[in-house]
Amino acid sequence: MRHSLRCAHKFTVPAMLAALCLWPGALPAQTQTAMKENILLKPWSGPYGGVPPFDQVRIADFKPALEQGMAESRSAMEAITASKEPPSFENTIVAMERMDATLDRVRAIYSTWAGTMSSGEFRAVETEMAPKLAAHRDQVHQNAALFKRIEAVYQSPEMKKLTPEQQRLVWDYYTDFVRAGAKLREEQKKKIAEINQRLATLYTKFSNNVLRDEEHYVHYLSKDQLGGLPQEFVASAAQAASERGRKGEYAVLNTRSSMDPFLTYSTERGLREKVWRTFYSRGDNNDEYDNKAIISEILKLRAERTKLQGYDSFAHRALEKQVAKTPEAAMNLLMQMWPAAIARVKEEVADMQAIAVKEGARITIEPWDYRFYAEKVRKAKYDLDSNEVKQYLQLEKLREGMFWAATRLFGYEFAAVTDVPVYHPDVRVWRASQGGKHVGLFYFDPYARTGKRSGAWMSAYRPQQRLAGEISPIVSNNSNFVKGAPGQPVLISWDDARTLFHEFGHALHGLSSNVTYPAQAGTSVARDYVELPSQIYERWLGTTQLLNEFARHHETGKAMPKELLDKIERSEKFNQGFLSTEFLASALIDMKLHTMGEPVEIDAAKYERETLAALNMPKELPMRHRMPQFAHIFSSEGYAAGYYSYLWADALTADAWEAFEEGKGPYDTEVAKRFFDLILSRGDTMDPAEAYRKFRGRDVDTGALMRHRGFATK
């Protein structure tokens, strides 16, 4: 993602930040020696232009490495601001692109531990360093001398002589500094810095509270409680219980990958309710790990800071540089979908209730029943059994399939490598190449484990660039599939398969980058544009060509029969009420929270309940991410006032996919080349709306999204 830690040493540093200024020459000799031995501070060595030294990491090294990285960045920044040369693109903007080399390497490994290898020891470091890193970021954004140089370049005659990519880079720096308050009075800057440090602490605490609840709450089942569960789920649950010292039992973990199949297949309604309530209560258990008070403070501080920065609301500031531009535009798209989505939920619930009545179940459909009865409806309407489909969805075969599609479309080749260190035995690495030329490395970490946050995500350990030579990218995909018993294939659901392809779309975005400046590389694009490459890549999973080759029965090895393929295609629009509504509810709550202009205290539980009621949220399903566990918007600011972006990108995706359909089909190499050249490889070197217009030949047609979801269009 875009480099957010632009670092500086101010000529006048507030006393509260002075302790961060750790100049190497001022350190004791013993400390300097320890620094030299700290593997995190050394340039990456080894093959492929150097690789992260994951096998040599010690948690004790993180704090001194981060502090040293910040000190080096401040030293470099002081050199920029102290220069007697007139500000220029080269001595100011390019110098800033180079100044974070050490800190970027340290943070790449630090972030990997935060997401995949967290522990009590690491969380203590994280809690201490979060406000320091926030203060460090503020030191650069509030450096008057630095901003003066950036502004001088932005307003200089040189600006017109720069390439479009260079002009956009200057504009990005200038705009980010202004948005952060570079033009504010000193007392305002100081207040913003204090708010940012407090927010950093709150974000870390929110995230760790959710992770604690995911690790702490596990449902252990006995053999007589396994009714309806597929054999592969039972095997995985037995393995998970055994790993936790409960051999002979079966563990339902408090993660989506474990919860979802359990609610889909378990015939034990009472257990379904318990598992559902436990999962959707993460961060909301009225104990020391409860996130509701944290949410209230986060929102109040964001609103207070936004007011200082001169924006109507946090959302207005957050969307200023996005494709949507305004909260009103985002809300318009969300509300365009909302009535159709909840109307479809009503139809889906009626279908489910009818089956429940027919079977003699004296129940009213509740949230813990939705997946279970939706599966029955799927069988009745489409004669499609999700568990039957799952027998053909082997994780490893699908991983091969996602590589294969990248080869067909973009000419990539992937070769497994074993000559690079990894941070856990589950992690494997592939070398990506095009036309025999090395492109980058892809790390794959697929399984759930203690210390790994839930969900699925892509990370960029190193962005592509040409500023410091031909630097190749290193990216990773991280998932939380439940590991099977030794020797047994891991079978995954259709939804999980889509997620697998989604995250690989992000990885391809990072691998395909072809830019000069690291701040513009790969996925460093507008938040509501970054999901386009990932969401469109999901579409290739459902193509007949790919499924014929890689959807192989785990026992017989036979390809998925055409009859089953046809059923999958016919059911493509099935359950869109549930899927659309659970997402839209989260996106609407996010946007409504962040369009509150005044800093006020809120009761998170009451706000969520009353806002959903006002929207006529169906009682039979929850938001996809309830507020106390909504890490997208409360563990950082990455998706705050930006969760809508998945829908915005989905509108782009639906329209872009129609470009393939209008051509020679999903593997049309001419359309694929245009997509690669104008979207995958461009990074942030041009305005995304312009890039999309060049790809499509026009602006996006949002009607394509309604058509894809099977909703009527006027």
Q: How many CB atoms lie within 10 A of CB 25?
A: 6
Element containing residue 458 per DSSP (H, E) = strand 457-462
Neighbouring C-alpha atoms within 13 Å toward the C-beta of 14: 17
Burial class (CB in 10 A: 0-12, 13-18, 19+), 4: middle
Q: Pick the catalytic residue from 72, 249, 503, 582.
A: 503
Q: Who's near 477: CB < 8 A, 6+ residues apart?
A: 442, 443, 444, 445, 446, 456, 457, 458, 500, 503, 504, 506, 507
- Cross-strand bridge partners of residue 443: 429, 476
Annotated catalytic residue 503: yes
- One-letter amino acid at 507 equals A
Contact indicator for 472, 44 with CB cutoff of 8 Å = no
Q: What gap in Å lies between CA 504 and CA 523, rounded to an integer?
A: 12
Which CA distances in Å does 625 have to 283, 490, 631, 634?
Answer: 11, 26, 8, 11
Q: What gap in Å lies between CA 226 and CA 459, rounded to an integer?
A: 36
In three-state secondary structure terms, 351 is helix
Give one DSSP letter per residue of 514-563, joined into a string.
--SSGGGSTT-S-HHHHHHHHHHHHHHHT-HHHHHHH-B-TTT-PBPPHH
Contact indicator for 456, 478 with CB cutoff of 8 Å = yes
Strand order in the sheet with 428-434: 412-417, 428-434, 437-447, 474-481, 457-462
| Both structure tokens of 266 | 């378990």
Phi, psi (5° rounding) for residue 246?
A: -120, 55
Q: What gap in Å lies between CA 528 and CA 701, rounded to an integer?
A: 16
| Both structure tokens of 147 | 């901003």
Which CA distances in Å does 520 have to 95, 230, 465?
Answer: 15, 46, 9
> Strand (E) positions, 144-295?
219-221, 250-252
| Both structure tokens of 267 | 């015939």
Q: How many CB atoms lie within 10 A of CB 624?
A: 19
Q: Is 557 left (phi over 0), alpha (psi -120 to 50) or beta?
A: left
Which CA distances in Å does 345 have to 150, 428, 579?
Answer: 52, 41, 9
Phi, psi (5° rounding) for residue 2?
A: -60, 140
In the block, residue with structure tokens 């991410």: 625
- One-letter amino acid at 496 equals D
In three-state secondary structure terms, 357 is helix
Contact indicator for 238, 220 with CB cutoff of 8 Å = no
Q: Who's near 17: CB < 8 A, 6+ residues apart?
A: 135, 139, 193
The DSSP secondary-structure symbol of 163 reads -
In the block, residue with structure tokens 């002009």: 167
| Strand pairing report for 250-252 and 412-417 | unpaired
Residues that are catalytic: 503
